[in-house]
Structure formats: C-alpha cells, structure tokens
Amino acid sequence: MEADYLVLGSGLAGLYFALRASEHGRVLVVSKRGLTDANTHEAQGGVAAVLGAGDTPEKHIEDTLRVGDGLCNTDVVDMCVRQGPQHILHLANQLGVAFDREPDGQFQLAREGGHSARRVVHARDMTGAAIHDALLERVRERGDRITLLPDSMAVDLLTTAKYGGPNAVFGAYVYDQNTGAIRTMLARAVVVATGGAGKVYLYTSNPDVATGDGVAMAYRVGARVANMEFFQFHPTCLFHPAAKSFLISEALRGEGGILRLLDGTPFMARYHEMKDLAPRDVVSRAIDAEMKRTGDDCVVLDMTHLPAQFLVERFPNIHRRCLGLGIDMRTMPMPVVPAAHYSCGGILVDANGRTNVRNLYAIGEASMTGLHGACRLASNSLLEALVYAARAAEDVRDATLDRPQQVATWYPGDATVADEAVVVSHTWDEIRRLMWNYVGIVRSDKRLERAARRMQLIREEIREYYWNFLVNRDLLELRNIALVAELIIQSARRRPESRGLHYNLDHAEHDPRLARDTLLARGDGPAV
C-alpha cells in the first residue's frame, strides 16, 4: 500500500494530524487494535489552555516551567501555551467537540495539580472520549483522503540506510492481525503517534496498547530519544481487584478532594504548600512514602464533604464505575494508589515534530518536545498533541519520497510458529515487575544496577526467540517493551541526581551540572 503520509496510531495526535494533512495529501492511519484503543480515549481531566478571565499565558508558562523542574524548553513552552487556545476553539467550533460550558456560553474551566488558575477545558470526566469520538467521526467523513486500518501493528520502519543510502524513512512493515500477513506500506513521510509505554510497569492507568512501540521502532532506525527516565506516576488510581488501575482524575482534587490515610488523617500539608494540588511527582512520592511508613496497601481520596449532586453531575463516569464496584464516592472515601501514567520522554523532535531521521516525525506522547521537562503539568499532554499534530501536518507538505526502486518484502526466513506462548507471557510479567520494583517512583543506584543486569539477559533471550519464531502482536509488543525498559534504565543511570519524576535515594538533591536532557541513540550505549 502507498500514501503520502503513513500515521502510526489513532489517538488525538494521529487523528488530528490526519485531518489536517488530508488537505494536501492521502493519509494511511494504522491502529494496533481498535481505532478507539488509545490513551486519548481514556483521558478524563481535559486540555489546559488560557481561556478564562484573569488567566494569562505568562501564568500558564510559569506553572509549566515550575513543574518541569528546570528541564523545559522555554521556546516550546511559550509556543504551545500561545498556540493551544486556537486549537481548542477549532475542536469546539469546527469539529463538534462538546466541551462543558457555563450558562453564558463560556468554557467551564477546572483546576488541577500544579496550576495556579482554572484553565482545564473538559467534557465532564470523559474529555478524551469526547474529543476522540468527534475526531474519528470527522476522519471517517474524509474517507476519500484518509484510510483507516485497525488491527494492524507496525513491525519496523523502512529506511534507505538498509539499501546503502543516507538514513531516511520511506514506510513500514505492518502486521495484519486478521490474516497474519506482513504488508509493506510506503509513504513520503511516516508519523509516529503511537502514544505511551505505561505497560512497561506492573501497575498503570494506560490501556493495554501502551507498549512504547513507536519509541522502540524509531530508536532501532537511529532516531534519538531523550529523557526516558522521567516517567510520571499518576497519584490516584482506584485500588480495587476488579478495577484494573482505573484512573481517578486529578480534577477531583481540583474540586476539593482530600487525600487521607486509612485512619482519616490528611497528610499532603506535610509535603507541599499546595497540599492536595501539588505537582504529580510530589503527590505520588508522598503517597508512596506514607504507604511504606504505615504498611497500608493504599490511601483514600475523600470527596464526602462536597455536595452529592455536584459529584454525580461533574464526575458521572467515575461515580458510575466506582458505584459498580461498591464504592459510593458521595458517602465513602475512594481507595487509591499511584500507577504509571505518562512518559515525559520519547523520540526527540524539533518544533515541527521532525526527528533526526529524514521523513520521520513523532507527535503526542511518543515524542519528546521539551514542553514537559522533568515532570508534566496536568492536562498539558493533549495540548501538546494538538499543537504538534497541526505543526507537523503543515511541515510535512515538503517531504519528498526517497526510496529504492525495488523494495524488499518481509522475509520470515526459517522462523516457525511458536508452540509455547507461556515464554512470552512470563517474560512480559518479569519485565513489568522488575521495572515496578527497581525503576519505579523511588530509585537507588543498587536497584538500577540490578535492573540493568537483568534486562540485558532478558533482551538476549527475546532476541533469540524473535528470530526463531513467526511474529505476532504479543511477541512484537514484548520486543518493544523490553527495549523501552532498557532505555528507561539506562537514562536513569545517567542521571545521578533527583529531579522532577526521577528520584534517586542515593542522590536526593539537584545537581546543577545535570540540568540538561538525557540523550540516547543507537550505537552510543548498551541499549542496542
């Protein structure tokens, strides 16, 4: 198959890019599972943008820089904050996203952790689904220009370097999960919009698709990745055996929710002046510390002091889900624990989403733009995805196809059908437990050293298995998540300090010499 632009991923970044790029080219959108299986669709809180009276871009910029803990790219922060509102208005006025409004028609704005003002545009507690559904509907209306391919997973990117030329991307091998065939897809440019990598950890708020595929594929063809050590843990995921780490939005604390110990004692005042609305890294570490101190399995988020009707109307999805599990947020506190939520690192890009590999772009959570620094400010992620998808869609106009005259089709060699799937599932579980225990909210030099040694052996085992057996989605995801785990470990070992989301017990303070990005590229370290 051939198109002007090949998009890997069907979340907000991928669909918004596809819509805008379809104005000047044909677009193929590949989605690993269903088209709504994306982090975007699960997003509850909203999009941060300066749209309220009394708020200013300068305040939003200041909040972002403060939470980013010295590593934000100030030019990128300024660009995203100032360009974001126009995209919110475009979503609402042209694309039909039904954001919550005040009686006078103004956007209803929420406040979340780290923000000094109410600036989070939302659609109840299902903002991501509202945006995603509207975008998907608009994309389907452009069927003459945009082709959607669900149940299709990219295996590897195609590059001219493999044919003896300079390194440029011209497509991808894509595994069709319905037929088992691997198709060759060609394009003038490839856009990685594969989202995050939360499944690298044992407990995560992310859907099952978040296995870091884009970062792994880009790294394998020479793209630089940056700041992989900064993985954000959301402080409040529902602690319940049937909840599968269901996210309890930060917006609840924005409306007055209080974190308490199981005995009812509030504790956040001991950790930060903003108390329950402190930045996420602070809140997650505080909860982790209190759980270790008390021996309790969780803490609780208390909303019972707020009007019952307000809770039901403002958070209908969370109320409904909790009620189904026997937890009535109107009358009882909700048990919560931190869980892996968002990767602030990713494929290093410029202000237009370009990587260092020609014709390869990255947008959304898979990218590292410099907006988030060492810790993401709440609801800045969808903002970043919108701004960069639009900028990449404009920049990609100039991409020219540079590919060999004869492109090799996928060749499986002597690979056979795997007869022991337990090998994959066991290794997957081992990686996630290793990352949670050794490379989680709190780290140490010894934990990172142990993780590095074990991951080296695991990746050797996966390499041998990969070349001996025919690929399937589980094996491809395992290969990718193992590489992402390695990148996180190596990045963390290269930062002997504590900053933002990276907290090392052996280096508890900032080191001014390390106020820079951690860069990795294939060939310059162990993560090959």
Tally the residues of the chain. 528
Determine how β-strand 299-302 pairs with β-strand 360-362. Answer: unpaired
- Local structure of residue 36 (DSSP, 8 states): T
- Local structure of residue 22 (DSSP, 8 states): T
Burial call 38-48: b when 16+ CB within 10 Å, e when fewer: bbbbbbbbbbb
DSSP for 98-165, please give it. ---B-TTSPBPEE--TT-SS--EE-STT-HHHHHHHHHHHHHHHTTTTEEEE-SEEEEEEEEGGGGTS
Strand partners, 5: 27, 189
Cα 165 from Cα 179, distance rounded (Å): 33
With the C-alpha atoms ordered 58, 59, 65, 66, is the resulting torsion angle positive or negative?
positive
One-letter amino acid for residue 442 of the chain: V
Kindly list the distances between the CA atom of residue 408 and the CA atoms of 117, 158, 297, 411, in Å, as whole numbers in the listed order: 55, 10, 53, 8
Return phi, psi of residue 298, to 5°: -165, 175
DSSP reduced 3-state for 519: strand
Kindly list the distances between the CA atom of residue 119 and the CA atoms of 48, 173, 341, 378, 380, in Å, as whole numbers in the listed order: 6, 42, 21, 11, 11
Cα 303 from Cα 311, distance rounded (Å): 8
- 348 CB contacts (<8 Å, ≥6 apart)? 223, 224, 225, 226, 355, 356, 367, 368, 517, 519
Cα 432 from Cα 392, distance rounded (Å): 33
Give the DSSP H or E segment for 91.
Answer: helix 74-93
Cα 27 from Cα 36, distance rounded (Å): 18
How open is the CA angle 492-234-126, to the nearest 5 degrees?
140
Which residue is it, tokens 């890294």? 281
Which residue is it, tokens 């022991």? 420
* Active-site pick, 119, 138, 280, 285: 280
Which residue is it, tokens 């402080």? 235
Cα 13 from Cα 7, distance rounded (Å): 10
Tokens, residue 88: 């919110």
Strand partners, 184: 173
Q: Which of 313, 279, 384, 500 is nearest to 48 (CA)?
A: 384
Cα 311 from Cα 252, distance rounded (Å): 9
Q: Is 280 a catalytic residue?
A: yes
Residues tagged active-site: 280
